């Protein structure tokens, strides 16, 4: 049976940071809807152009295109054993579609770690985040600085600040999260899948707590 993990939590809580670390430990591919959209934006595809118009305003990309993109990604051979989903699902429509899609692969959502932190922490993390242009590695100017300012430790590419990390867009992303994604907390809690993790701790401590949940 494949294993599917859904990492839930607000913008900037550390889902991407943790997903990269957990993917290494579990061997599961990291499937990030945000990264897939950013790849499409970089390659100037039609999907990328559409996604960008929503992302720059801090709004969600429409469900139908998002679901179809994730369907395509989860159908690839490297996801045969499951996947670590980061940023998807984000609405109840997406959660229902995911359940149907995984049933087609004889799977289901097995774990939903829900990472939490205060709004002040989220804003501080997003405003100090630097992302690598080549592969999306993530740094923070204070909490996780690169060895050389502006340069990715892993692939030497240039670091940039995401367009949607501007203060006004961050505020909107957090509002959208509470309105459209937070209902999934109750949805997965009712299914007995949710485990709450304190994301305000240092990165290594959050990883350790996540691994405890995933070993259950």
The binding site for ligand AP5 (CB under 6 A) comprises: 9, 11-17, 33-34, 37, 54-55, 58-61, 66, 87-88, 90, 94, 125, 128-129, 138-140, 143-144, 164, 173, 199, 202-203, 206
Q: Which is nearer to ligand AP5, 1 or 68 (CB)?
A: 68
Is 90 known to be catalytic? yes
Query: Where do runs of H (alpha helix) occur along 118-202?
Result: 119-127, 167-176, 183-190
Shortest Cβ 115–ligand AP5 spacing (Å): 7
* DSSP code at position 180: I
**Nearby residues of 185 by Cβ (< 8 Å), 6 or more positions away:** 8, 114, 194
Tell me whether residue 92 is exposed, middle or buried, using C-beta atoms within 10 angstroms of its C-beta: 0 to 12, 13 to 18, 19 or more: middle
172 is catalytic: no
Q: How far is the CB of 132 from ligand AP5 (least distance, A)?
A: 11
**What's the min distance (Å) between Cβ of 34 and ligand AP5?**
2
Q: How far is the CB of 196 from ligand AP5 (least distance, A)?
A: 15
Catalytic residue among 125, 129, 189, 216: 129
Nearer to ligand AP5 (CB atom), residue 110 or residue 144: 144
- 15 included as an active-site residue: yes
| Contacting residues for 30 by C-beta, under 8 A, at least 6 apart | 19, 20, 22, 23, 83, 84, 86
Distance of CA 181 to the CA centre of its chain: 12
Out of 76, 173, 189, 205, which one is annotated catalytic?
A: 173
Q: Is 73 a catalytic residue?
A: no
Nearest residue to ligand AP5, scored by beta-carbon proximity: 34
Closer to ligand AP5 at the Cβ: 55 or 152? 55
User: Could you give the C-alpha distances from 124 to 107, 167, 207, 212, in angstroms and in order?
Assistant: 37, 10, 20, 27
Round to whole Å and give the CA distance between 131 and 140.
Answer: 9
Q: Is 189 a catalytic residue?
A: no
């Amino acid at each position: 049976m494949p294993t599917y993990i859904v990492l839930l939590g607000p913008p900037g809580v550390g889902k991407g940071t943790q997903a990269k670390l957990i993917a290494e430990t579990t061997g599961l591919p990291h499937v990030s809807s945000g990264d897939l959209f950013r790849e499409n934006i970089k390659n100037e595809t039609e999907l990328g152009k559409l996604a960008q118009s929503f992302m720059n305003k801090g709004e969600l990309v429409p469900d139908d295109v998002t679901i179809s993109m994730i369907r395509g990604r989860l159908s690839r051979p490297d996801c045969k054993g499951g996947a670590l989903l980061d940023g998807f699902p984000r609405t109840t429509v997406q959660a229902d579609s995911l359940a149907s899609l995984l049933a087609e692969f004889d799977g289901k959502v097995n774990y939903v770690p829900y990472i939490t932190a205060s709004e002040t922490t989220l804003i501080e993390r997003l405003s100090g985040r630097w992302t690598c242009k080549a592969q999306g590695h993530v740094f923070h100017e204070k909490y996780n600085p690169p060895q050389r300012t502006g340069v990715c430790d892993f692939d030497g590419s240039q670091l940039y600040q995401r367009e949607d990390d501007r203060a006004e867009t961050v505020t909107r992303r957090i509002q959208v999260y509470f309105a459209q994604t937070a209902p999934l907390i109750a949805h997965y809690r009712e299914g007995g899948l949710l485990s709450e993790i304190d994301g305000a701790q240092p990165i290594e401590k959050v990883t350790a707590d996540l691994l405890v949940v995933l070993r259950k």
